[in-house]
Every structure is written in structure tokens, then in C-alpha cells.
Chains A and B, each alone.
Chain A
Amino acid sequence: MPDANPRNLRTVRQINRRDILFSVARVPNTARLLVASNDNKVHEIDAGRDNATQRDLADHGRYVTCVRLAGNTIISGGYDNRLIWWDLQNNRMIRTLENAHARQIRQLALSPDGTKIASVADDMLCKIWNVANGERLHELRGHQLRTPTNFGSMLYCCAFSNDGTKLATGDRVGHVVIWDVANGRQLSTIEVPSLYTWDGTQRIRSIGGIRSLAFSPDGTQLAVGGVGQIGNVDGLGGPSRVEIHNWSRRERVHQFQGQQQGIVNRLVWHPRNNWLCGVGGGSNGFIFFHNTQTRAMIHQMNLPMHTHDTVFTEDWTTLYHVGHQRIVVQEIRP
């Protein structure tokens, strides 16, 4: 069957909610979503039904920012600094890692084989954990606690390469570290300052940062997403922006900006290199598909809410977006 063409992207369902959803994972071969909410909980939602049902799972007591699913185990993190392992089938907690980080946890990335999970947090550490037993495998230190102007920094995102041997982490000021997962050593660093706006004249504060990362299928390139330079840091009125770097040569090979203003919160690189997909938003949301070989934009469109995360089905034809008070289901039709 030929790959679906992103130009045929259509919205098929919207589920309105009262909460803000920051992260989504999907139960394989189903429309059952696991979402991380600002109501402090992880929920399971069946997005395949018009009247979506919901089941409450882990309760962090504070904003939940990230959730991933490894087999039958849900792992979630949030502003409570904890990581919670949760048994999806039996709906019970497996373990809680209190003070997994010293500050709020921003994102989780699951290794392709499902055995390791990486967490990043505002203590500026990345930690790699054994999914099976919660043991910490590595603690990765490569990001500064303070920004160059002496404010606290933030560590937003992480992503594994498709072969699981490399991990990238990206912070507020545009510093990216690529790690060797086997031994926890730094392989390289790259700088992407265009995604960080420090306004030292008008407003004396900053906005932006690296919000999304994705390795190319062969692992040689790294896509880095966020928002470009912003004139007025009161809002997100800057161009949605992606840079692609050859990380081993520390060389930027391509960059592009979307039509929409806002921040690229999630990047997904198609495993056969058909496209790079990004979602995010400003006041509204957006999605784009970019051809990384021809360097042309394939398709971009607005989404009805600022979008924080997305997940694809196994056949890459259905997408589940989560964000501000809404879940949106889209399909790429043949």
C-alpha cells in the first residue's frame, strides 16, 4: 500500500474538554489515549467514540506534563518532580519515584525498544531509567542551570534516535546535547540560539527555547523545533521554526519557518523519511508536513487549539492531537 499523502489530511473528530492536555500516548492498535492533564491526573480517553469516555489513572497532585506507554506500563511525570509507573490493565500504581528530579519534569522519551525511558527536568538533568524496575541507569549533566543573563534555565525536551543508541536533549537557551545512551557520555553539542529570544531592551525577559527534537531515520540528522525570534515577548508572535542539523559535524543543513506563528511543541520524523511533521501553536494551533529531501513544505494547516503533543497510529494515517481544552483526531486519506 502506498504511503498516505499528507495533503489529504482531514479533521475527523474534536473532543472538547475543560482541561489543558500537555502530552499523549496511545494504546497500540486502538484509539485509547493516555493524556497528561493540568487537572493533575493522567486520564485514559477513548477517542474512537463520539461520546468519549474517560478513566482517571495516576494522580500527581500537580500539573502532569508528560506520559508515555511501554507495553502495559504507563510512565508519567510532572510538576511534582515525581515519576509514576502505572499498570494500565489493572489500573493500579506500580511505583512512584519521589524526587526523581529536583525540579519539575518537562518531558519523557521512550526508547524504541521500550526498555528505557528518559526524563528531563528544570534541574537541568536528563535521567535514563530502566522501564522494568525503575532503576536509574544514567544521570546526564550537560545543561547550564542559569541562562547567560543569570536567570534560571529550563530543560524542555528529549528524543531517542530510531536505533535507540543516541539521545538528544534541548534547553531554553538553545543548547542541545547528543548523548551515547550506552555509556551516558556526550557525543556532541549544537547551538540553536535562533529559538531563544532574550529581550534585554524592551522587556528584560525571555521566551522560547527548544521545545521539540526528532532524529532522522538514519540518526545522522536532528530536527530542532521551537519559535523563532519574537519582537514582543508578551506573546508567541514569532515564526514557528525548525532547524535541521548534522549533529556529528555540528552543521546546520536546513532551516524553515511555518506560515503560522507560534511554537513547535512536537516533531515526528517519518521512519521512511517521507516527511517531518510538526505541531504547536500560538493563540491557535497548527500542523505542518515538511519534505526533508526536497526541502519543500508539503502541507500546513491550522488546528483549532494550541497543540502540545501528537501521536500517530502504526500505519501513519491517523493522528491524535492534544492541547488547550481539546483533542483533535485527523486522518490522512489515500
Chain B
Amino acid sequence: MSRKSFCGSADHAVSRRGFLTSMAALAGGAAFADMTALQVLGTPAVANDLRANQKRVIMLWLAGGASQLETFDPKPGVPTGGPFQSIQTSTPGIRISELMPRMARRLKDTCIIRSLNTRNADHGSAARIMMRGRMGEPSVDYPDLGAVMAREMGLEGSQVPDYVSFYTATEGRNMSPGSPGFLGARFGSMDLTTSMVPENIRRAGVSEQDHRERAELRNQLSGMFERGRSSSTLDSHNQAYRRVSGIMANEQLFDIEREPQRIRDRYGNTLFGRQALAARRLCEAGVPFIRVGRAWWDSHAQNFESHQEMVPELDHVMATLLDDLEERGLLRNTLVITIAEFGRTPNINSTLGRDHFASAWSTTLSGCGVRGGTVYGRSDAAGQRVAEGEIGAARLFATIYRALGISHTKNYYLGARPIPLTDPGTEPIREVLA
């Protein structure tokens, strides 16, 4: 499938051409078939080109709904504010929760959006909205952001997957699955749930020859099945299979044990930290979209203790990830989105919990294409309503696309029907964009 989906900027054109040229040159070498993507990246010309220009997204998905009041929109001193204080960030006048001291020190790459009103406080349907940027409709199966990124930023012939999703907790996993929608299985997510390494990836005990023979057998059976049949679904599945088959030679891509101990220590010994490190490795190898699902934030009771437990982990992992991406020269082309399906109520219930709340909550965008060290929008004093700059999922997604250099007005076609990336009339938030 030809992909002419870039925004048209010179950056993208050069990147894609440069990459394909380099790949072609490498493909001529006998050793290429055995090289992993990381080894490919070791080739200076390719690595430099990729690092310079390919846009990527790492989404930190705070499944279940983290509290904006205990993270990016604290309200100390009001009855709804909870027990935690706010602290000054590196940007004068902007304060976030005291539970996030590291992010407070490095807000320079991050824009906080405090004015989301997404009008849906049901886990499942809200998650679908926040993964797609729009409500669903019966006649159209919309792709999610990861699938769009795979479609727009995936590279022909790439040996790495285009969309990887980590989600280990069982709660909520089925509420927000990666979905390629009408784009087809080729752009679907590689879901890592029980392990940080794809379950069917080549392991010790499966030799190179076994691997090759399995592929040949599969091709043979598939060819027999396809004979006399023609289907876009078949094509899509075959493309996905070929991509996965290539990935199976890349076990080390997912293996964070190959990182120096110093780096692993830096991310911390939690599942979220380890998966964020794996995400950075994938990002570095050229995977356009990686989602790291951190579940489960649904603190209907003991909200403050849950957030005291989980927010420092988020703070540590997010700040470390941003530092690491920056030090590797990746942050300017990688957008880190920290988001959930909704936030949590300002009202504190009888079990010291906060409930589902979509009327005035927060998200952050960091890195690529974003004006860092800023806040957009404002909730009212009690955090009950948006007081300024109200946006929904559509404008957020238009902003995300724009930050990545993708035209938010671009159309896909479902048969003859044009399907714009965001709903018609949606505009990105200029103030958020660099």
C-alpha cells in the first residue's frame, strides 16, 4: 500500500525518501535478512535520518481515569481540593500537584490542557472516544490514533511494528483495545498483555530454520486458500502477517535487559517503568505509535491514598521518559501524550473517593510540535466546570495531528465516502502548538 499521507512538509518527504534509499541499499547486502531493526538503526545514515524526521507517539494511557486534581490541575484550599498541595513548576505561575515534583521541574516540554469536557463518563465508551477523537457511529468503524499513526507514519518495508500497545492489567483492557477500524488489520495494534515480549516471537528453541520453514508452510497454505479469491481483508491480513513475521526476528527489540543497568534503574523497578523503557526502545527503533497502558486508576474509594501510591510512579516514569527521549535527540519528533478516558469528580465521596468525571479534566502533550512549559484552558475554582478554553476530544485530536505534521482535515475514503481525520469544522488549538 502506498502511503502518501504525510502533511506535505519537506521534513517528511526527505525523511521517507532518505529512509527508503537507505533501506534499499541495505537490502542489497546479504546480511540484511538477519539484522534486527536496532542493528539497522546502528547504521548512521538511517539512524540519523529517522531520528531527524520521523514523527512518533508514546501514549501513557492512565486507564480507569486519573484525578486531574491530584496531578495537573490541583485546587488546594477549596473543599473539593483534597489534602495535597500544589507546587511551583519550572514555568513561573504554573503549579501542579506536589505528588509530581519531577514533572514540576521539567515542564519545559509539556503543555497542560486543563479544559477537556468530553461529556462521557462511562469507561468503555469514553475510552473509545479518547482513543479515536470522536464518537462512534454505526456505519463507520473509525480507526484509533495508533492505527492512524501506523497508517501515516509507518514506513514501507519496515522491520518493526507500527503500533504496539502494552496493557498488562486485566481491568479495563477490553474497554480500550487498539482498533484499526476501517483501515484494516494491517494497521492494528500488536497487543502485549501478559508479557513484554510478543508471545509468538522467535524464542530460544526455535531455530532460524524452524522459523523460515514455518513461514514457508504458512505461505503455502495461505496461497492455496487465496487461489481464486480476492479480498481486501485477505490482503490486509497478509500484510500484517508479513510485518509480524519480520518482527519475529527482532526479539531483542522488546528486551529491556539489553539496556544498561543504569538505564533500567533510572526508569525504576515497576511494571510501568519497564514498559515505558520498552516503549522508548521501540520508539528509537522507529515504531510510530506505542501505547503504555497503566491501569487501574478508578479510585471510587481511598482516592488520595491510591493517588499517593500511583502518581509518584507516573511522575517518575513520565519525567524519566521525557529526559531519556530528549537526551537521545528523540523528543523533538516524539509526542508523549498522557491521557485517560476521563478525570475524577471534584466532590469527595463518603469513602474518600472520587468518581467518574468528564466535565472538566486534564491531559498533557509533551515534546513534538508542542509549546512546552504552558497551560491551555482553565477549570473553575472548585474544578466543577471549564471556565476557559473548553475543548472536546475532536479539538484535542486535531491538535495532536497538527503537532505531528498530519493534516487534521485529510480524508480517508470508505468506498466513495470521504472520512476526514477529525470532524469537519474542527480546528487545532493554536496556543498549544509550537
Contact = CB atoms under 8 A, between A and B. Distances in A.
Interface stretch (A4-12, A184-192, A279-287, A289-297): A279-287
A260 interface: no
Contacts of A236: 301-302, 351
A234 B296 contact: yes
Contact of B171 (A20, A202, A284): A202
Contacts of A203: 64, 169, 171, 295-296, 298
Contact of B300 (A18, A104, A235): A235
Contacts, number: 87
Decide if the interface of chain A is mainly helix, strand, loop or mixed. Answer: loop
A234 B83 contact: no
B170 A62 contact: no
Given A151-B313, A203-B171, A284-B350, A234 B308 contact: no
B175 to A, nearest CB: 13
Given A150-B269, A234-B301, A281 B351 contact: yes
B298 A282 contact: no
Contacts of B305: 154, 207
Interface in B208-238: none
B299 A234 contact: yes
Given A62-B85, A202-B170, A235 B308 contact: no
Given A234-B298, A235-B301, A152 B85 contact: no
Most chain A CB within a 10 A radius of its CB, from B77, B299, B305, B353: B305
Contacts of B84: 79
B83 A282 contact: no
Contacts of A234: 64, 296, 298-301
Contacts of A212: none
A284 B301 CA distance: 12
A234 B64 CA distance: 10
Contacts of A154: 305, 308
Decide if the interface of chain B is mainly helix, strand, loop or mixed. Answer: loop
B310 interface: yes
Interface string B143-187: 000000000000000000000000011110000000000000000
Interface residues of B, number: 36
A136 interface: no
B169 A202 contact: yes
Interface string B237-278: 000000000000000000000000000000011110000000
Interface string A186-209: 000000000000000111111100
B306 interface: yes
B296 A204 contact: yes
Most chain A CB within a 10 A radius of its CB, from B271, B294, B351, B352: B351
A204 B298 CA distance: 11
B104 interface: no
Contact size range, A: 35 or more
A46 interface: no
A122 B83 CA distance: 14
Nearest to B76: A62
Given A62-B85, A150-B268, A235-B300, A283 B309 contact: no
B350 A39 contact: no
B126 interface: no
Contacts of B299: 234
B79 interface: yes
Interface string B39-54: 0000000000000000
A241 interface: no
A305 interface: yes
Contact of B79 (A39, A79, A149, A262): A39
Interface of B: 64, 76-77, 79, 83-85, 168-171, 268-271, 294-296, 298-302, 305-306, 308-310, 312-313, 348-353
15 contacts: A38-B348, A149-B270, A151-B309, A154-B308, A202-B296, A203-B169, A203-B298, A207-B301, A207-B302, A234-B300, A234-B301, A235-B300, A282-B351, A305-B350, A306-B351
